[in-house]
Amino acid sequence: MQPQGEVKTIFQKSGQERSDAILRRESKLALGGQRTQLIHSRGAEPPPHAGTDVLTRGPARPKTGRAPEQVARRIVRPMALSAVLHQAFLLAVLFLRASQSEVLGESFQLTPAGLTVSLQPKLQQVNLQWTAAGLTHQEVNGVFQIEISRIKKSNIIWVENYNATVKQNQTLHWHWKSDIPLECVTHFVRIRAMVDDVRYPPQSSWSSWSPWREVREHVSVKPDTLLIYPEKKLFEEGSNVTICLMYGQNMNNVSCKLQEEPIHGEQLDSHVSLMKLNNVAFLSSTGTNINCQVMRGTKKTFGDVLFVSKVLEEPKNFSCETQDFKTLKCSWEPGVDTALAWSQQHSQSYTLYESFSGRRELSNHRNSHNWQITEKSQETYNFTLTTENNLRKRSVNLIFNLTHRVHPKAPQDVTIETISATKANMTWKVQTYGDKYTLLCQVELQHEGEVIYEHNVSVHMSANQLLSDLEPDTKYKARVRCAGANRFWKWSDWAQETFSTPEAAPSQPLDVWRQVWPENGTNAVALFWKPLSNSQANGKIKFYNIVVENQDKPTKPEHYSIRAPSTVIKLNLDRRPYKINITANNSAGASPESVMVISNDSGHEEVWEKRIHGTKDGFRISWEPVSGDALGYVVDWCEHSRGQYCNLQWEKLGPNITSTIITSDTFEPGVRYDFRVFELSMQQNARLIERQTGYTQELAPLENPNVEIKNLTSNSFVLSWQNYSSDSQPGFIKGYSVYLKSKELQCHQNWERHLLPGDSVLCIYDINDPEKKTLTVENLQPESLYEFLVTPYNSAGQGPNETFTKVRTTDERSFMLLQIILPMTFCVLLLITLCYWKSQWVKETCFPDIPNPYKSSILSLIKSKKSPHLIMSVKDCIPDILEVINKAEGSKTQCVDSGKLHTEDAPTKSLSMPPEKDSSGPVPCVFFENFTYDQTAFDSVSRGLIPEPLKDIPHQLGLLATPDKLLNVLEKDYMKSLVESPTEETSLIYVSQLASPICGDKDRLATNPSLPVHCSQYKRQMAVPGSLIPPSLKENNSLTSTILLGQDEQ
Partner 1 sequence: MQAQLPQRTLLSFALSVLFLSMARATRGCSNSSQQLLSQLQSQANITGDTRSLLEPYVRLQNLNPSTLREGCHRQPAAFPSEDALRALSKPHFLSTVYVTLGRVRHQLGTLRQQFVKTQDFPELERARQNTQGIRNNVYCLARLLHHPLETPEPTQAEPTRPSRPTTTTPSIFQAKIDSCRFLWGYHRFMGSVGRVLREWGDGSSRSRRHSPLRARRKGARRNRPSASSRSPAPRVQVPR
Contact 879, 905 (CB under 8 A): yes
Closest listed residue to residue 585, CA positions, set 546, 615, 622, 631: 546
Identify which of residues 303 and 655 has a Cβ nearer to partner 1 in the complex. Answer: 303
Contact 482, 441 (CB under 8 A): yes
Q: Which stretch binds partner 1 (CB under 8 A): 93-101, 339-347, 900-908, 919-927?
A: 339-347
Site for partner 1 in 444-473 (CB under 8 A): none
For 621-641, the DSSP string reads EE---SSTT--EEEEEEEEGG
Q: How far is the CB of 121 from partner 1 (least distance, A)?
A: 11
Q: Contacts with partner 1: how many residues (CB under 8 A)?
A: 36
Q: Which stretch binds partner 1 (CB under 8 A): 338-346, 461-469, 599-607, 967-975?
A: 338-346
Site for partner 1 in 654-713 (CB under 8 A): none
Q: How far is the CB of 367 from partner 1 (least distance, A)?
A: 17
Q: How far is the CB of 251 from partner 1 (least distance, A)?
A: 12
What is the distance between the alpha carbons of residues 541 and 588, in angstroms, rounded to a whole number?
10
Contact 421, 504 (CB under 8 A): yes
Identify which of residues 228 and 582 has a Cβ nearer to partner 1 in the complex. Answer: 228
Identify which of residues 387 and 692 has a Cβ nearer to partner 1 in the complex. Answer: 387
Q: Tell which one of 343, 372, 750, 803 touches partner 1 (CB under 8 A).
A: 343
In 760-897, the DSSP E strands lie at 760-767, 774-777, 785-794, 797-798, 805-808, 882-884
Identify which of residues 179 and 337 has a Cβ nearer to partner 1 in the complex. Answer: 337
Site for partner 1 in 178-237 (CB under 8 A): 219-222, 225, 227-228, 231-232
Q: How far is the CB of 352 from partner 1 (least distance, A)?
A: 24
In this structure, how many other beta carbons lie within 10 angstroms of the beta carbon of residue 644?
14
Torsion angle, alpha carbons of 922, 928, 932, 937, to 10: 30
Closest listed residue to residue 632, CA positions, set 616, 614, 653, 647: 653
Q: Cβ contacts of residue 851 below 8 Å, gap of 6+? A: 930, 932, 933, 1021, 1023
Q: How far is the CB of 246 from partner 1 (least distance, A)?
A: 10
Residue type, 94: L
Q: Tell which one of 117, 123, 263, 339 touches partner 1 (CB under 8 A).
A: 339
Stated as kind and residue range, the H or E segment containing 1003 is helix 1002-1007
Q: How far is the CB of 234 from partner 1 (least distance, A)?
A: 12
Angle at 324 between CA 322 and CA 464, to 5 degrees: 110
Identify which of residues 300 and 772 has a Cβ nearer to partner 1 in the complex. Answer: 300
Q: How far is the CB of 276 from partner 1 (least distance, A)?
A: 19
Identify which of residues 286 and 920 has a Cβ nearer to partner 1 in the complex. Answer: 286
Angle at 469 between CA 464 and CA 474, to 5 degrees: 95
Q: Which stretch binds partner 1 (CB under 8 A): 78-86, 111-119, 332-340, 796-804?
A: 332-340
Identify which of residues 297 and 735 has a Cβ nearer to partner 1 in the complex. Answer: 297
Identify which of residues 220 and 725 has a Cβ nearer to partner 1 in the complex. Answer: 220
Site for partner 1 in 241-260 (CB under 8 A): 257, 259-260
Contact 675, 630 (CB under 8 A): no
Q: Which stretch binds partner 1 (CB under 8 A): 336-344, 490-498, 749-757, 1011-1019?
A: 336-344
Mark 930-969 with x for binding to partner 1 (rule: CB under 8 A) and - for no binding.
----------------------------------------
Identify which of residues 301 and 919 has a Cβ nearer to partner 1 in the complex. Answer: 301
Beta bridge partners of 820: none
Q: How far is the CB of 11 from partner 1 (least distance, A)?
A: 43
Contact 731, 670 (CB under 8 A): yes
SS3 360: strand
Identify which of residues 289 and 508 has a Cβ nearer to partner 1 in the complex. Answer: 289
Identify which of residues 12 and 309 has a Cβ nearer to partner 1 in the complex. Answer: 309
Identify which of residues 293 and 600 has a Cβ nearer to partner 1 in the complex. Answer: 293
**What angle do helix axes 935-942 and 1031-1049 make, rounded to 10 degrees?**
90
Q: How far is the CB of 287 from partner 1 (least distance, A)?
A: 7
What is the distance between the alpha carbons of residues 406 and 397, in angstroms, rounded to a whole number?
19
Q: How far is the CB of 344 from partner 1 (least distance, A)?
A: 8
Mark 266-305 with x for binding to partner 1 (rule: CB under 8 A) and - for no binding.
-----------------xxxxxxxxx-x-----xxxxxxx
Q: How far is the CB of 260 from partner 1 (least distance, A)?
A: 5
Identify which of residues 217 and 651 has a Cβ nearer to partner 1 in the complex. Answer: 217
Q: How far is the CB of 493 from partner 1 (least distance, A)?
A: 32
What is the distance between the alpha carbons of residues 603 and 514, in angstroms, rounded to a whole number?
10
CA–centroid distance for 809 within its chain: 54
What is the distance between the alpha carbons of residues 837 and 754, in angstroms, rounded to a whole number?
62
Q: Which stretch binds partner 1 (CB under 8 A): 341-349, 635-643, 817-825, 831-839?
A: 341-349
SS3 48: coil
Mark 606-645 with x for binding to partner 1 (rule: CB under 8 A) and - for no binding.
----------------------------------------
Identify which of residues 228 and 862 has a Cβ nearer to partner 1 in the complex. Answer: 228
Identify which of residues 342 and 990 has a Cβ nearer to partner 1 in the complex. Answer: 342
Identify which of residues 119 and 780 has a Cβ nearer to partner 1 in the complex. Answer: 119
Q: How far is the CB of 300 from partner 1 (least distance, A)?
A: 8
What is the distance between the alpha carbons of residues 74 and 950, in angstroms, rounded to a whole number?
186
For 251-291, the DSSP string reads ---EEEEETTEEE-EEEEETTEEEEEE-S-----TT-EEEE
- Cα Rg, the chain, nearest whole Å: 74
Q: How far is the CB of 341 from partner 1 (least distance, A)?
A: 5
What is the distance between the alpha carbons of residues 415 and 431, in angstroms, rounded to a whole number?
16
Site for partner 1 in 70-109 (CB under 8 A): none
Identify which of residues 232 and 359 has a Cβ nearer to partner 1 in the complex. Answer: 232
* The pairing of beta strand 609-613 with beta strand 619-622: unpaired
Residue type, 756: L
What is the 8-class DSSP label of residue 198? T
What is the distance between the alpha carbons of residues 558 and 912, in angstroms, rounded to a whole number?
117
What is the distance between the alpha carbons of residues 348 and 756, in angstroms, rounded to a whole number?
94
589 Ramachandran zone, left/alpha/beta (phi>0; psi -120 to 50) = left
Contact 515, 535 (CB under 8 A): no
Q: Tell which one of 84, 88, 198, 341 touches partner 1 (CB under 8 A).
A: 341
What Å distances lie between residue 415 and 423, 683, 752, 766, CA to CA? 14, 52, 87, 81
Q: How far is the CB of 298 from partner 1 (least distance, A)?
A: 10
Q: How far is the CB of 348 from partner 1 (least distance, A)?
A: 12
Identify which of residues 302 and 433 has a Cβ nearer to partner 1 in the complex. Answer: 302
In this structure, how many other beta carbons lie within 10 angstroms of the beta carbon of residue 199?
11
Closest listed residue to residue 850, CA positions, set 596, 1022, 673, 1010: 1022
Q: Tell which one of 195, 340, 638, 686 touches partner 1 (CB under 8 A).
A: 340
Q: Tell which one of 342, 815, 841, 847 touches partner 1 (CB under 8 A).
A: 342
Q: How far is the CB of 189 from partner 1 (least distance, A)?
A: 24
Q: How far is the CB of 295 from partner 1 (least distance, A)?
A: 12
Residues of this chain that interact with partner 1 (CB under 8 A) are 219-222, 225, 227-228, 231-232, 257, 259-260, 283-291, 293, 299-305, 337, 339-343, 347
